[in-house]
Structure formats: C-alpha cells, structure tokens
Chain A
Amino acid sequence: MTIWEIIWFALIAVLLVGYTVLDGFDLGVGFWSLFLRKEADRRGAIAAIAPFWDGNEVWLLTAAGATFAAFPPVYAAIFSGLYPALMTLLFALILRAAAIEFSGHAHGAAHGRWTAVFGVSSTLVIILLGAALGNLIHGLPLRADGEIVIGIPGILNPYAVLVGVLNLAMLATHGALYLRMRGEGEMRALAARWSGGAWVVYAILAVATGVITAFVNPAMLKKFLDTPLLWAAPALAIAGIAVTGLWLRRETVFPAFLASSVGIAGLLATAAVGLFPVMVPGLNPAYSLTAHNSANSTLTLQTMLVIVLIGVPIVLGYTIWVYRVFRGKADDMIQY
C-alpha cells in the first residue's frame, strides 16, 4: 500500500461527501416536491435549486471519473456488475435533468407532469445511490477475475434497501432544511414541519443501520474494535445528527443545515474507514478489490493528484461565490 493509493481512496470518499452534501439538498428538494400541491410552490421549489443543481451533480461525475482514473478495476466491476441498477440510475438522472429544464417552459398540466418526473426521479436517484453503498458494505459476489455476477434480486437485498431508505430519510431532512432557508411563506412552514418529521425517521434509521451493519459486515466492526481512533467517524455522524435535531426548532436554519452536512460527512466517513482499504468487498474476501490491488500506476496517481489539488480549491472558491450571488429570494430564478 503506497501513500498515493491511500490519498486516492480518501479523495474519492471526499468527492462522494461533496456530492452527497451538495446534490443531496437538491435531490431532497425533489423528493419534497412530490408533496407540494400548488403549481406556484412547485415552481418555487425548483427555482430554489435552479442555478445550483447542475454544478452539484458534477461531484458525482467527478467521483465516477476519479474512480476510473485511480482504480479502473473498481469502476469496471461496479458499473458492469450492477448494470441494471446503474442503468436505472442513469435514466433517472437523465429524466431529472430534463424535468428541471422543461418544467420551466411548461404550464398547467404539463408543468404538473414534469414536476412529478422531477420528484420521482430524484427519489429514485437517492434510493439507488444508497442501495449501491449498501451493496458495497454488504459485499458482492466477486469472481477471481474481478467480475461481479449478481441478479436484480441480489442487488435489492434487504440491507441495501435499508441503506437506500436511510439515504432517503437523510436527504429528505437535508432538503427540507434547504427549503426552509430558501422558501417563502407557506412552503417555508411546510418545510419546517417536514424537516422535523424526516429528522426523527433519519435518526432512528441511522442508529438501526449502524447496529445492523455490525452483523452484516463483522469485519468492519472488528476494525473499529481494534482501532479505537476510528470511532471518531461515527462520533462525528452522531454529533452532526444530534445537533441538527437540536437546532431544528430555531428560526435561523443555517446551523442546522451545516450540522446536517456534518452528519452526512460522518456517516460516509464511517463507511469509508470501516471498509478501508477494501473498495469492493467480495463475498469471498480473497477476491476483494482494494485500494492496493486495483490502483493505477504511481505516475498516474501523482499526475491526477496535481490536477485535483489545483482544480478542486478553484472549484470550491467559485462555488462559494455563486452561492453568495444567488442568496436571498429566488423569484428571479423561476425562468431564465
């Protein structure tokens, strides 16, 4: 195991955290749009994410690209092995992008149809990505040649579905908090109710999933018992989730949103340190794909690191600028 392989494992985890925190809120808004009855409210919900969602989604594309660039066997095995799930995810992402764009040009019943597509596709993306992570923690039937052979029932095993639903509760909380920050009037009041309800489900599911994971992947539990320092990650998750709950009732929402982001980072960090260095655990551990046996050459990892170290700080810089430009009321973001 070289330092470059460790750095790249961590970087991909960081990209997934960035994705989940940022695209997570606009996916969560998508889920809640299913419960908005008035066209004006649904328009307002989409307007609240309109200038941001595209940039947020790039975090997912970057995570996929980075996995290809750093650990091609992992990229190849997951994307071809989980073909039906990945293709469904892809079609959901395509339809979601189309729905956000074309709902802006539609009115009346057509607008209703597009926002329904937006809501359903957002929810599907959340559950599928959660289920994908669930499958990674659960372990996959890897062969000696690095291929995964699994059917749709295998992909939709109960543990994967549980993580999918946890993801939905988590991002529903996150998205409702975002709507509270950006929404106006009635939608703001609705989002306040939603964030409280979703948080309770989220907290219960997070604890339950944590306990069940110890049974599903005992090797993970052993790692935490062997290295007490690793408990920092679940501690961060618990702290984030708890502070979110404590801040929920206050008028100023941003601290709760920030705490929710910390909770997301903590949960993903828990999965990452629990798996490390394994990236795709095989049901037969000898065939597991790890950050070592799947890594690219050191030259490639170093070159890519330079690109990332130059690129990502710039990305963070202008992303913060853009969020500042579009702070406040979203009524000029309904239609460009």
Chain B
Amino acid sequence: MDAALLARLQFALTVGFHFIFPPLTIGLAWFIVGMLAWYRKTGDEAIRRIARFWVTLFGITFAVGVATGITMEFQFGTNWSQYSRFVGDIFGAPLAAEAVLAFFLESTFLGVLLFGWKRLSPTAHLVAGVMVAFGSTLSAFWIIVANSWMQTPAGYKLDPERHRAVLTDFGAAVFNPSTWPRFLHTVDGALITAAFFMLGVSAWFLLKNKQVAHAKVTLTMALWVGLAASVAQLGLGHWHAMQVAATQPLKLAAFESFYQDPDDRPGAPLLLFGIPDPKHDRVNMAVYLPQGLSILAFANPTAAVKGLNDFPRDEWPPIEMSFYPFHLMVILGMFFVAFTGLGVLLLRGGRVFTARWFLVPALLAIPLPFLTNELGWILAEVGRQPWIVYNVMKTGDAISVVVSATQILTTIVVFSIVYLLLFVLWIGALRHAMHAKADEVEPMPAAEAEGVTG
C-alpha cells in the first residue's frame, strides 16, 4: 500500500483516538474548579465528596489523554519529516510553547489536584484545580494555533533557497484568521462534552437510586452549563463557518456540496435536503431555501458564493467526507440545545430527577458530543485536503522519505491493539469508580450524626 495513505491513516487513527479524551478533561476541569470553589466558600463536606468523585473520573481520563498525547509530539518527526522541515520555523514554536507554558502547568498541578486532599487548604487545592483547568485550556489554545496556521497560514514568507516557510510576524502567525473562532468553538465543544458526560453519569445514579443527593446537584449543574454551552455553540459554530467561507471558500463549498448556484436569482440558496452524487457532480433530490447560503455564510442575501466548479478539480477535498460530517455535526449541535433545554424545563419542581424517559436517553447520549467533536475534527482536516498547509504544501509532499509503508503498517497494527486496550481499560476504570461510588454509604448530615453519638 501507498506510504502516504498509510501515514495519513495512522495520523487519523492516533489523533482521532487522542481527541476522545482532552475535550472531556478540559470541560470537566472547569466543573471541578466550580465544585472546589463552592467547597471553599461553604465548607460543605458533601460538596467536597462530590468533587472528589469527579476528580477520580477526571484523573482516569487525563491519564489516557497523556498516554495517547505523547504520540502527537513524536509523530510530526517520525511520519511527516518533510513537513517538519518545511514548516518547522513556524509550526514548532506553538508546540514548544504548549509544552513550556501548558503541559508543565497541567501535569504538575494534576498531581496536586489528585493527591492533595489531606495536605492542602481548600484555597490551595482550588488554586491547583484552576491551574489544571487553565493549563489544559491553554494547551488547547496552542495546538489549535498550530493547526489553524495549517488552515489559514499567516505571518510567514517562503524561502525557496532552503525550501521552507520562514516566520516574519509571530503575532500574525499565532492569531491567524481562524485561530479565535476555532479555539472558542473547540473549547465550547469541550464544555458540552463534559456537561453531557456529567448529565449521563448523574442520570445513572438517579436511575439506580444511589447517591441521589449528589446526583441531583451534578445533574442540575450539568443541565445549566450544557444548555448555556450548547446555545453559545450555535453562535460560535456559525462564526467559524463564516470565517471558513471568507478564508477557505472551497472548503465551505465541499461542506455544502455546492457545485454552483442552481438558479439565476441573486444570492446562493441553502440546501435543506439532498444527497450528494460526486460521480456526476450534482446533488440528488435537492430541496433549496433561496438565498439561505448567502445569508448564513456572508450575512448578505445577495452575496455571491463560490461553488466547487469555480476551483480546479484537483484541489477539491473529498465531497462526501465533508458533506455528511458537516450536516451530522450541525444536527447534533441542534439536538444538544433541544435536549438540555428540555432538561432545564423539567428542573422546575424537580420533575427531571424521576423522569425515566429523560434520564435513560441522558445516559445514552454520553457518546454523542464525543462523536460531534470527532466530526468537527474530520471536517477541519478532510476539508483542507489535498493541502497539508492550505495552498502552500500538499499532503503527499509532506511524508517521511525514509520510512517504509511496511513500517507504518506495522505501527498502525500496534497502535490499534494498544489503543483498543486503553479504551477498554478506560471504560472499565470509569465503571469501577462509578460502582464504587454507588456502593459507598452516604454519611449522615452533620446534625443527625451528632444526635446519634451525643
């Protein structure tokens, strides 16, 4: 098999697997900060016990995130050595900044957060939690800076003599046109992921009728944060899509499977329903909303929108791999708003805590935001093809010359086995921690306990 294809497969496999974990830990970290701050303020032992349980789930997930994250720091060099040489003057800096400013922070304070319960004051423990949350969010920032530069490169010039890109303006490279929308979109996605995870786990406790007081608190937290983050995502996602329309019009055309304007009216219509047929360059069974795409992409009903046919065919990204993930992502985003909105409505009078018809779907919905994160990432990366750095370097020119297809295939097999094992262990450890919590005897409130012993 072709080494370039295998290298891409390996990257997709390893990043795709790694990307299960950081969104959950980034989001959960901020929930934990909230709990630790609450405990610090009230001194309520129940809150501390809740925080401790969630820190356990956080710690298990963080460990798998770390284990699979090491791969990323290696892989640019092992599998993409020509890319590393070509962009190293720009791309290496955010990676090193991520390590110096973010990895140290989150990894060092993680130990304090996990093991500091007896050794630290509530204030110091809260500070450790803030550092972990801030560090992991900062880590997301720097890696998205690096990836955004691949999408919308800025602040550089080409040095044809040494065949490399050279930094001319660090600020412009860091804050390139897609950095902010992509960072906020991703971090908000992390909050949604953590909120649905907490919602589902809390629902599990309620359905089992165990740790009910605890579960009511976390379910309420999860619903409110989940609703706020899901609503915010409508705006952030839209902002990001407008940025793609402005900076990567071909990518947007692939998302929409928009070959060319199907009618003569001013403005481009939005495809409400349709099945892309890339073999014949058309969309079957299409239903359009006039001027919809112009309004969404450019906030202007008569704006002209470029279609796929306006670009050379050899620069098109895969159409179906862009179209379906995009629409599924948007539909799931709408579902998150509706589901958390419904849950918040049911909070009135506490009906949600006994509504099995809501709690069972809440438990089953845990994987959905993870799926949505993956879809967004697939879109970002597939939509950029055939470029590795948009309009600057082709993916096929970026691979390691001296690494053979056999070597890559061998490591793909090993990665698959090791990662499958890690996934099973992760789920097993989460389940174990949840069952242990469910079997834990809830201590009596302080006043009653005094009555018994006194």
Q: Which residues of A contact B (CB under 8 A)?
A: 50-52, 54-55, 57-58, 61-62, 64-66, 68-73, 75-81, 83-84, 86-87, 90-91, 93-95, 97-98, 100-102, 105, 145-149, 296-297, 299-300, 303-304, 307-308, 311-312, 315, 318-319, 322, 325-326, 332-333, 336
Some 28 contacts from A to B, beta carbons below 8 A apart, are A51-B112, A58-B103, A64-B73, A65-B92, A68-B96, A69-B92, A71-B88, A72-B164, A80-B401, A80-B402, A83-B400, A87-B414, A94-B422, A98-B64, A101-B60, A101-B67, A102-B63, A149-B402, A297-B89, A300-B89, A307-B93, A307-B100, A312-B100, A322-B108, A322-B109, A326-B111, A332-B115, A332-B119
How many angstroms from the CA of A300 to the CA of B92 in the assembled complex?
9
How many angstroms from the CA of A50 to the CA of B113 in the assembled complex?
12
Do B84 and A75 touch (CB < 8 A)?
Answer: yes
The residue that B100 contacts in the complex, of A93, A296, A297, A315, with Cβ under 8 A, is A315
The residue that A94 contacts in the complex, of B70, B81, B84, B88, with Cβ under 8 A, is B70
Do B167 and A299 touch (CB < 8 A)?
Answer: yes
Do B112 and A322 touch (CB < 8 A)?
Answer: yes
CB within 8 Å for A65 and B85 given contacts A80-B402, A81-B402, A94-B68: no
CB distance from B12 to the nearest CB of A (A): 17
Do A87 and B411 touch (CB < 8 A)?
Answer: yes
CB distance from A121 to the nearest CB of B (A): 11
Does residue B301 face the partner (Cβ distance < 8 Å to A)? Answer: no
Does residue B55 face the partner (Cβ distance < 8 Å to A)? Answer: yes
Across the A-B interface, give the 7 residue pairs with the lowest CB-CB distance, nearest first.
Answer: A72-B88, A79-B77, A51-B111, A69-B92, A101-B63, A76-B81, A55-B108
Do B101 and A311 touch (CB < 8 A)?
Answer: yes
CB distance from B334 to the nearest CB of A (A): 36
Which residues from B are CB-within-8-Å of A148?
A: 402
Do A318 and B108 touch (CB < 8 A)?
Answer: yes
Q: Which residues of B contact A (CB under 8 A)?
A: 55-56, 59-60, 63-64, 66-68, 70-71, 73-74, 76-79, 81-82, 84-85, 87-93, 95-101, 103-105, 107-112, 114-120, 131, 164, 166-168, 170, 400-403, 407, 411, 414, 418, 421-422, 425, 429, 432-433
Do A303 and B110 touch (CB < 8 A)?
Answer: no
CB distance from A310 to the nearest CB of B (A): 8
Which residues from A are CB-within-8-Å of B104?
A: 55, 58, 62, 311, 315, 319
The residue that B70 contacts in the complex, of A61, A73, A83, A322, with Cβ under 8 A, is A61
Which residues from A are CB-within-8-Å of B85?
A: 72-73, 76, 146
Which residues from B are CB-within-8-Å of A326?
A: 111, 115, 119
CB distance from A294 to the nearest CB of B (A): 9
Which residues from A are CB-within-8-Å of B429?
A: 101-102, 105
The residue that A303 contacts in the complex, of B56, B79, B93, B117, with Cβ under 8 A, is B93
Which residues from B are CB-within-8-Å of A72?
A: 84-85, 87-89, 92, 164
CB distance from A313 to the nearest CB of B (A): 11
CB distance from B225 to the nearest CB of A (A): 24
Which residues from A are CB-within-8-Å of B107?
A: 54-55, 57-58
How many angstroms from the CA of A296 to the CA of B73 in the assembled complex?
19
CB distance from A194 to the nearest CB of B (A): 25
Do B109 and A318 touch (CB < 8 A)?
Answer: yes
Nearest opposing residue in chain B for A143, CB measure: B402
Which residues from B are CB-within-8-Å of A64?
A: 73-74, 77
Do A61 and B167 touch (CB < 8 A)?
Answer: no
